[in-house]
Chain A
Amino acid sequence: MAAAALSGLLPRSRCNVRLVESDEIGIVGVGEATLPHMKNFNDIVGIDEAEMIRRTKATFKLGIEFRDWGFQGSSYIHPFGIHGASETTLGFHQKWLRALHAGHAFNLEDFSFAIAASRQNRFDFPAGKSGSISSTYSYAYHFDASLYAAFLREFVEARGVERIEGKVRDVAKSDNGDIQSLTLESGEVIAGDFFIDCSGFRSLLLGDALEVDWEDWSQWLPCDRAWAVPCASAGELTPYTRSTAREAGWQWRIPLQHRTGNGHVFSTAFTSEEKARETLLANLDGEALGEPRLLRFQAGRRRTSWHRNCLALGLASGFLEPLESTSIYLVQIALMHLLPLFPGREVEPALIGEYNRKMDVEYERIRDFLILHYHLTSRDDSEMWRYCRAMDVPDSLKQKIGLFRQRGYIERYRDGLFTPPSWLSVYVGQGLTPERHHPTMDNIAVDRMVDELALLRDDIRDRVEELPKHEAVVARYATEAAGSDAFSFSFN
């Protein structure tokens, strides 16, 4: 992704991009779930959506279903869209709350077009014209991460990025402490003005060579392992990722065209590797396609992701579990923050400071949002859930939860991921209903509002009935995969 962005979005006169990559190093991940920003990235670097969908065996995604998180037996969807017909300052949910407190209990999910479509396994592209209910959402993809990496590699090589096969053996620093060059195992020396570290958890340049500290967040996000395995597809193709809470972690389910990606993220403080593996294998839709692979990690980040003439991307800069599909987003937003600040030969400290400030905001927003899922629960059936319920969370999050509990207030911030509709769906989905609504809502006559809510709910339901099934839409893109025995496509 870095090579695609730098080669495609910076002028050639500014930089000559070389990519050092090894075929011997495997790619983590069996299926990748993304956020709607992905489409934007593809569009600006010039990746053709239809081709990417076909090549990476992608499907569409309208949100994430969370099962058993707030309490066992619960299910809610965090949609890529708003609740209600349009965004308002106080939020649509204040109307919903006002009705609720007046004795009219509507289901909040019924007011989200994206959720209603997800629940029926339907998908269509959002209407371009704003103002209509079918324009109130966006979409992302599920794809095969290895196929995406291969696809991007081809894409950047076609653009003239030089790819050097090999593993880094040594990193040489200059007198001032900057990175000067890399020595590969072949003995080849690669010099550069600026280095981008995409070496994954190992963080070869930023962590090893420049010794930037690691900030540990595992007191809030205790999961430290994942078993991952693909399985055969079964049932209707869902247009959403599923995350099911388990005794000592959670399990992902990512539907692709040809199979389903699965993984069990867990904490070794609360279960064993062996038991976690069994849990995963016992909870697959279809036959496991291969042996589960074990991944080790720790929640946290490098204290700064740009230091001297080196910038780390992705896992080399930090790790947050893929509960909200933020891994690729973090790579993408890091690149988007880098482009306007891309340095000349001299790296100015102001640019580094600004980049790191922006990334601090990104990481902390996501961190708080992830912690919310673990902390805001009434589960007390296992040690991990009891720990998470009782743990001391960051003050920023405490205040947010308190304001929602008291009055349904949700902060709208300038920078960083997750807008009020995301917070709303997780708060309510995890089982927190505000005690009061905003005082100005009492200006509205309840009867009229209740009628309007009912009309809106019915309108969404009726319109969603008209959407095609997700698998029919995917089939239109996947003609080359149509022979796959994992699927039978229905054209309607």
Chain B
Amino acid sequence: MADAVRTIVIVGRDAPAWIAALSLHKALGQTGVKVSVVELPSLLNGVEAYAALPSLQALHELLEVDEAAVLTAARGVPMVAQRFSNWNGDGAYLQGYDSAEAPGGFLSFVQLWIKARAQGLKVPFEEFSFGAMAARSGRVPSESDDPKALGATYGYHLDASAYSLLLRAFAVRRGIEVRSGLVRRVEVQAERIDAVELVSGERIAADLFIDASGSEAALLSTLPADQFESWQAHLPCDRLLSASVGQMTPRPAFSQISAIDGGWIGMFPLQERTAVTMAFQSSSMTPEQAVAQLQSLAGVAIGSDAIITTINPGVRKTPWIGNCIAIGEAAAALEPLDGLSLHLAHVCVSHMITFFPVDRDSAIEAAEYNTAVRLHAANLRDFQQTHYVLNGRAGEPFWDKARAAPMSDGLAQKLRMFQARGESVLYEEETFEAQSWAQMFLGHGCSPRSYDPRVDLIDQQDHMQSIQSRLREIGQTIPALPTIDAFLAATQIPIKASAAAS
């Protein structure tokens, strides 16, 4: 094993760098592999929030990061759903995170719903989602050990800077060596990185380099084979205006994503404030117009700490080249929609550990990582683009164009199948399961033309019964769930106690 990887240097910033460091340390620290971090200056401005999927809970558990500590330090609020409004007329829909689909016997519940709707049912699909309904009433659902019982889970809204600092503290406490600095030069030889030289003059060599620098891809972009594939044709926004406004009362249990003329506005509730993001296209709006639009639409004053940043959705052709592995936005970038802030970093890190090289010659692992990460990111891009292609804002140039934008063959087939039969096609490497796709399709007004013929095998009375009992069960369960405020009060580390302990 002379050629095994013994030293790993992560060059990066903010939460993705610390997620990579903690994960690698956890997976390999006992085996003598040394993990260290070169910390680049943060790109966060103190106003941003991370909206993270429920899968972050599992990551925290794996990394032994306590939920109470996270909510306390990052002023976090459970994210029980995504609420999309004004994408199709004045309506809105909620997308929750149910543990399992509503029961439909051997069929998927959406098939039962489609038939019921054809027979006159007026109740929208989201009202059969425990997670969505919990979010609507401002409450936090929980999962159940009984697979037949109602269960839903939640992600988080977190103050991005505070969360990153918390993870950094965990990394330092676990003995991960951290240097802060700027990279002056990357020593590249035959598509491999020998070392990075910092502005301080320090030269840091390693067997393996992780690029967690965000979309600049500070390391990967120095390798001659690196190429970037833009997804701007699919995801049109290239600017983000981030700001902070006061607390909403009552504090919502969801991310509020509203379509506006020329983009969308996201509101992400935190404990003492609300992080606001407006995504738009630089070619159709100046920064001043964007600020003015946000103030008038959100109905609040935007402080001087507001900031405009560039986003460039797309993917690296080969996120892993030689001994350099890009994760998170250095590998693929999406819009900050659908609670995906930290998700790509998480997906990349988990694939990186699955294919962690057994020796320095890792061409075969790199090929597998690249295929998996690109496919995963492309499926997420398709998920995000679905909001755009199904928008109903006819007559607005931005939205008309988005509706007609090119789609991948995979997404085109997904849409055709859902419209034909209400069936959600899933490929390899999907984050979102069939139920999430169905919620989105139906939420944006897709209307399947037919349903699985086997629904007709179900006795009409049994059919109505399963529809009604689901509604009843959800209606009866929700009042017993804790409200967001009650949940926070019960979960957080009391500030005083925490200060005394440290």
- Residues of A bordering B, CB below 8 Å: 9-11, 13-14, 44, 339-342, 344, 348-351, 353-354, 357, 399, 402-403, 406-407, 409, 413-415, 435-440, 442-443
Asked if B358 contacts A436 (CB within 8 A), the reply is yes
Q: Does B368 contact A (CB under 8 A)?
A: yes
Asked if B421 contacts A399 (CB within 8 A), the reply is no
Asked if B456 contacts A354 (CB within 8 A), the reply is no
B118 to chain A minimum Cβ distance, whole angstroms, is 13
Question: A414 contacts which of B1, B421, B423, B428 (Cβ < 8 Å)?
Answer: B428
- A14-B364 Cα distance, complex, nearest whole Å: 50
What is the interface residue range for chain B against chain A? 35 or more
B419: which A residues are within 8 A, CB to CB?
350
Question: B364 contacts which of A44, A340, A406, A414 (Cβ < 8 Å)?
Answer: A406
A44: which B residues are within 8 A, CB to CB?
106
Asked if A399 contacts B454 (CB within 8 A), the reply is no
A354: which B residues are within 8 A, CB to CB?
413, 417, 423, 425
Q: Does B188 contact A (CB under 8 A)?
A: no
Q: Does B416 contact A (CB under 8 A)?
A: yes
B426: which A residues are within 8 A, CB to CB?
414
Asked if B364 contacts A440 (CB within 8 A), the reply is no
Stretch at the interface among B24-32, B256-264, B316-324: B24-32
Q: Does B452 contact A (CB under 8 A)?
A: yes
Chain A at the B interface: SS class: helix
Q: Does B420 contact A (CB under 8 A)?
A: yes
- A350-B30 Cα distance, complex, nearest whole Å: 51
- 7 residue pairs of the A-B complex, CB under 8 angstroms, read A10-B457, A350-B413, A351-B420, A354-B413, A357-B425, A407-B365, A442-B32
Asked if A436 contacts B456 (CB within 8 A), the reply is no
Question: A413 contacts which of B27, B365, B428 (Cβ < 8 Å)?
Answer: B428
A436: which B residues are within 8 A, CB to CB?
1, 358-359
Asked if B423 contacts A14 (CB within 8 A), the reply is no
Given contacts A399-B367, A440-B353, contact A340 B423 (CB under 8 A): yes
Given contacts A351-B421, A399-B364, contact A13 B427 (CB under 8 A): no
Q: Does B431 contact A (CB under 8 A)?
A: no
- A415-B359 Cα distance, complex, nearest whole Å: 31
Given contacts A414-B427, A439-B31, contact A399 B368 (CB under 8 A): yes
Contacts A344-B450, A354-B417, A439-B33 supplied; 15 other A-B pairs, CB < 8 Å: A9-B457, A14-B453, A339-B453, A340-B452, A341-B421, A357-B413, A403-B364, A403-B368, A406-B358, A414-B426, A436-B358, A439-B28, A440-B31, A440-B353, A440-B356
Asked if B420 contacts A350 (CB within 8 A), the reply is yes
Residue of chain B at shortest CB distance from A407: B358
A348: which B residues are within 8 A, CB to CB?
420-421, 449
B106: which A residues are within 8 A, CB to CB?
44
> In residues 46-81 of chain B, which contact A (Cβ within 8 Å)?
none
Asked if B4 contacts A439 (CB within 8 A), the reply is yes
- A348-B430 Cα distance, complex, nearest whole Å: 26
> In residues 303-358 of chain B, which contact A (Cβ within 8 Å)?
353-358
Residue of chain A at shortest CB distance from B31: A442
B427-453 near A? 1/0 per residue, CB < 8 Å: 110100000000000000000011011
- A9-B458 Cα distance, complex, nearest whole Å: 11
Given contacts A341-B421, A353-B416, A414-B428, contact A443 B368 (CB under 8 A): no
Can you list the 7 inter-chain pairs with the closest CB atoms, starting with the nearest? A350-B416, A11-B456, A442-B31, A436-B358, A350-B420, A443-B30, A14-B453
- A347-B387 Cα distance, complex, nearest whole Å: 28
Asked if B27 contacts A440 (CB within 8 A), the reply is yes
- A340-B364 Cα distance, complex, nearest whole Å: 38
B31: which A residues are within 8 A, CB to CB?
439-440, 442-443
Asked if A402 contacts B423 (CB within 8 A), the reply is no
A361 to chain B minimum Cβ distance, whole angstroms, is 9
Given contacts A354-B425, A406-B358, A436-B358, contact A10 B454 (CB under 8 A): yes
- A407-B368 Cα distance, complex, nearest whole Å: 13
B341 to chain A minimum Cβ distance, whole angstroms, is 25
B389-428 near A? 1/0 per residue, CB < 8 Å: 0000000000000000000000001001101110101111
> In residues 13-36 of chain B, which contact A (Cβ within 8 Å)?
27-28, 30-33
Asked if A439 contacts B425 (CB within 8 A), the reply is no
Asked if A439 contacts B356 (CB within 8 A), the reply is yes
Asked if B28 contacts A440 (CB within 8 A), the reply is yes
Residue of chain A at shortest CB distance from B367: A399
- A413-B427 Cα distance, complex, nearest whole Å: 9
A409: which B residues are within 8 A, CB to CB?
354-355, 368
Residue of chain B at shortest CB distance from A342: B453
A351: which B residues are within 8 A, CB to CB?
417, 420-421
A470 to chain B minimum Cβ distance, whole angstroms, is 32
- A403-B372 Cα distance, complex, nearest whole Å: 14
B423 to chain A minimum Cβ distance, whole angstroms, is 6
Asked if A438 contacts B423 (CB within 8 A), the reply is no
- A402-B421 Cα distance, complex, nearest whole Å: 40
B430: which A residues are within 8 A, CB to CB?
414
- A224-B363 Cα distance, complex, nearest whole Å: 37
- A348-B423 Cα distance, complex, nearest whole Å: 13
- A342-B452 Cα distance, complex, nearest whole Å: 7
- A354-B427 Cα distance, complex, nearest whole Å: 11
A9: which B residues are within 8 A, CB to CB?
454, 457
- A88-B355 Cα distance, complex, nearest whole Å: 16
- A53-B354 Cα distance, complex, nearest whole Å: 44
Question: B421 contacts which of A14, A340, A349, A443 (Cβ < 8 Å)?
Answer: A340
